[in-house]
Chain A
């Protein structure tokens, strides 16, 4: 077996020294980091968006102002919590809730959904004084307002008909002209035009009016309709205001209306499979259900990329006839085992690095404000996903690796191999297609049937890993898979032995069968 080790060591050394290997290793943590941070980066990179409101009816001004202020307060509350978790002196430092109690001397709000800039700053000052924050904590930065209302540019007659106003603003909205905000040029992102007779355009149940022009209430103009945040915020603000006014008109008290509008029934989600008292579906549960999909994908990518390596360098050795020198030094079995082991080590190095990076990045980014990262880390640590992954990777790799080695041994060029791989690729694609719907019915008929097909067992069982499939299925499919692996290795060994020395046309199927009997 010494020779098999030497072959394995060479395969490992050669593949680990390639640039592709290191790019593959390093690209993963970069992608993960980008995935985690992208949203906040994008949020931060977004410049403040300016918009003009022309309210000819004069009814909605204050409602819009309130809506904008509420948006900003939400952003401040989020930033505040993130700031506190970054800069708390100890993990046991007073929570925001406790601080709030300290400040107000009254029971805390259940959660900080909104807070003003002044509130945030005073709470931070308070916790600095009480030693709840690190002494060198940086000053709190108030997040930028995402949207800013600006007056209509000079020269636009705001008392004109809505169509005329829109025409006048068109060059600004298209970006052909700039508006001036606080002495600087800026782009106009959107315009809301509310006509004078908006009351007559309000839709009510039973309306028979059909003409479109009549149904235009307010007009929202923007060159970027895909970013719907502002539009939704404005729509909500004016509709709430319209309804409030109509309630009041029907004789209801304004305060009561406001209170009613903020009423809501919280909808919690529960899983009947959980023990009593723990039925609530948490983020961790969601992750537990969907994390296997990520692992299936990882399994698929890693098994096929390294099996492909195996195929490629078998063909390399064959096409430059190194195989003859090798076979005058080692047996074909030693060569095959050496290759399998060497490439497996390459794959495991890569996967080990990836999973290490994943856990490390999650650990760095976890914290109260990063619920997903924290829960994912928790799931990885406590569930059996990682060990299951290791087992299915190894067995799956041996199965497909042996298959690809045999395939490589009968081909002389990569092109020939690609032709012969076509059917294999078609078969391989199945677990990718079922990957997304198996978690929805993890112990259903399709999943169960696929689990018992050895070439799919690693992927499908990985897919189902979180749904605790019946124990006999886990053990049974694994045993069936292991037996298949042994048989495939044996067959592959026979084909490899004859195939590697063969030149000319790849053999026909019947010929392969003859080799197996030989």
Chain B
């Protein structure tokens, strides 16, 4: 049961002279929500397509649900591709039922399940509406539901949030949480950090086809030095000599200073030191690093621009 759902071992994919993915290795534990983060063109989609055996890897090996190829376990996987589209002339219900039945569900069960999902996620009244009459967001939700209707144990969602309005993004987050609560393993790729921050247990950072980081969200945060932002009218240089403080830097306005902590340092310690040194504080901000900061560190401001903005 604790065997990872997906193991990629030094996966490589080239298209002609262009190498889209270099030496990609990772392991997705069962029951986790795993984020693929990276700028456009980073190789996320290519990695996902190789995982699903849509592309054959140039080198390296895959183990998915204990098998070397997704083709052998197709029915246990759900997949939402990056580019979204539907059969225009079919109703949402028929589409969900069709894809569920392609994954081995019986016809009647698939239809019942399609209706249940549409009701549950707020599309009940559009069940029998043809897809060409649905809004883009609704169509996308239908497609998400189509990818999970057969109750897969492993779901791969490629950019599920792109193109959704904030309300539908929340619905989609709920879908992912519900899946996780049912014990489903989920991979999703995104470039919106907030979703990753709220949903992921683990994440992998990819840029230019290479893996830059792989680990839990907490581990990701720990990769960049922790900082405190203090606001005071007294010169806080004395803090430099306090244990656990790596540096103090004026931020230049509003009497704000950035205090960098060394690894394992305790912020409370610094607070106590402030009182001892007579530095009267107007504010003391622990300023936990965000995934955005992690990103900036790994990807570099240039590449991160489009990702984080």
> Which residues of A pack against B, CB within 8 Å?
3, 6-7, 10, 14, 17-18, 316, 319-322, 324-331, 501
With A and B bound together, what is the CA distance between A286 and B30 in angstroms?
76
A329 / chain B contacts, CB cutoff of 8 Å? 74, 99, 102-103
A319 / chain B contacts, CB cutoff of 8 Å? 85
Query: 6 other contacts beyond A3-B102, A329-B103, A330-B74, with CB at 8 A cut-off?
Result: A6-B98, A17-B89, A322-B85, A325-B79, A328-B74, A329-B99
A328 / chain B contacts, CB cutoff of 8 Å? 52, 54, 70, 74, 77, 79, 81
B268 / chain A contacts, CB cutoff of 8 Å? none
Please tell me if the beta carbons of B89 and A324 are within 8 angstroms of each other in the complex.
no
B164 / chain A contacts, CB cutoff of 8 Å? none
Please tell me if the beta carbons of A321 and B85 are within 8 angstroms of each other in the complex.
yes
Please tell me if the beta carbons of A10 and B54 are within 8 angstroms of each other in the complex.
no
A17 / chain B contacts, CB cutoff of 8 Å? 89
Partner of B98, one of A10, A324, A331: A10
> Which residues of B pack against A, CB within 8 Å?
49, 52, 54-55, 70-71, 74, 77, 79-87, 89-90, 98-99, 101-103, 143, 146-147
Please tell me if the beta carbons of A325 and B98 are within 8 angstroms of each other in the complex.
no
Closest Cβ–Cβ distance, residue B73 to chain A (whole Å): 11
Closest Cβ–Cβ distance, residue B126 to chain A (whole Å): 19
B54 / chain A contacts, CB cutoff of 8 Å? 324, 327-328, 501
Closest Cβ–Cβ distance, residue A332 to chain B (whole Å): 10
16 A-B pairs in the complex with CB atoms less than 8 angstroms apart: A6-B102, A14-B89, A319-B85, A320-B83, A320-B84, A324-B49, A324-B79, A324-B81, A325-B79, A326-B102, A327-B54, A328-B54, A328-B77, A329-B102, A329-B103, A501-B55
Q: Which residue of A lies closest to B52 (CB)?
A: A328
B143 / chain A contacts, CB cutoff of 8 Å? 325
Please tell me if the beta carbons of A330 and B102 are within 8 angstroms of each other in the complex.
yes
With A and B bound together, what is the CA distance between A316 and B86 in angstroms?
9
Please tell me if the beta carbons of B71 and A331 are within 8 angstroms of each other in the complex.
yes
Closest Cβ–Cβ distance, residue B159 to chain A (whole Å): 12
Give the residue among B74, B81, B85, B147 with the most A Cβ atoms within 10 A: B85
With A and B bound together, what is the CA distance between A31 and B255 in angstroms?
90
With A and B bound together, what is the CA distance between A3 and B70 in angstroms?
16
B81 / chain A contacts, CB cutoff of 8 Å? 321, 324-325, 328
Closest Cβ–Cβ distance, residue B215 to chain A (whole Å): 28
Q: Which residue of A lies closest to B78 (CB)?
A: A328
Q: Which residue of A lies closest to B146 (CB)?
A: A325
With A and B bound together, what is the CA distance between A291 and B132 in angstroms?
44
A6 / chain B contacts, CB cutoff of 8 Å? 98, 101-102
A14 / chain B contacts, CB cutoff of 8 Å? 87, 89-90
A501 / chain B contacts, CB cutoff of 8 Å? 54-55
Q: Nearest 10 pairs between A and B by C-beta?
A: A320-B85, A321-B83, A324-B81, A329-B102, A328-B79, A328-B52, A321-B85, A322-B85, A321-B81, A6-B102
A322 / chain B contacts, CB cutoff of 8 Å? 85-87
Closest Cβ–Cβ distance, residue A321 to chain B (whole Å): 4
B77 / chain A contacts, CB cutoff of 8 Å? 328
Q: Which residue of B lies closest to A500 (CB)?
A: B54
Please tell me if the beta carbons of A321 and B79 are within 8 angstroms of each other in the complex.
no
Closest Cβ–Cβ distance, residue A5 to chain B (whole Å): 10
Closest Cβ–Cβ distance, residue A425 to chain B (whole Å): 27
Q: Which residue of B lies closest to A330 (CB)?
A: B102
Closest Cβ–Cβ distance, residue A150 to chain B (whole Å): 62
B55 / chain A contacts, CB cutoff of 8 Å? 501
Please tell me if the beta carbons of B101 and A325 are within 8 angstroms of each other in the complex.
no
Closest Cβ–Cβ distance, residue A324 to chain B (whole Å): 4
Closest Cβ–Cβ distance, residue A345 to chain B (whole Å): 17
B83 / chain A contacts, CB cutoff of 8 Å? 320-321, 324
A316 / chain B contacts, CB cutoff of 8 Å? 87
A325-B79, A328-B77 known; A320 vs B86 contact (CB < 8 Å): yes
With A and B bound together, what is the CA distance between A326 and B146 in angstroms?
11
Closest Cβ–Cβ distance, residue A102 to chain B (whole Å): 66
B52 / chain A contacts, CB cutoff of 8 Å? 328
Q: Which residue of B lies closest to A7 (CB)?
A: B102
Closest Cβ–Cβ distance, residue B257 to chain A (whole Å): 51
B102 / chain A contacts, CB cutoff of 8 Å? 3, 6-7, 326, 329-330
With A and B bound together, what is the CA distance between A105 and B82 in angstroms?
93
A18 / chain B contacts, CB cutoff of 8 Å? 89
With A and B bound together, what is the CA distance between A331 and B103 in angstroms?
12
Q: Which residue of A lies closest to B83 (CB)?
A: A321
Q: Which residue of B lies closest to A332 (CB)?
A: B54
With A and B bound together, what is the CA distance between A10 and B81 in angstroms?
21
Q: Which residue of B lies closest to A328 (CB)?
A: B79
Give the residue among B54, B70, B77 with the most A Cβ atoms within 10 A: B54
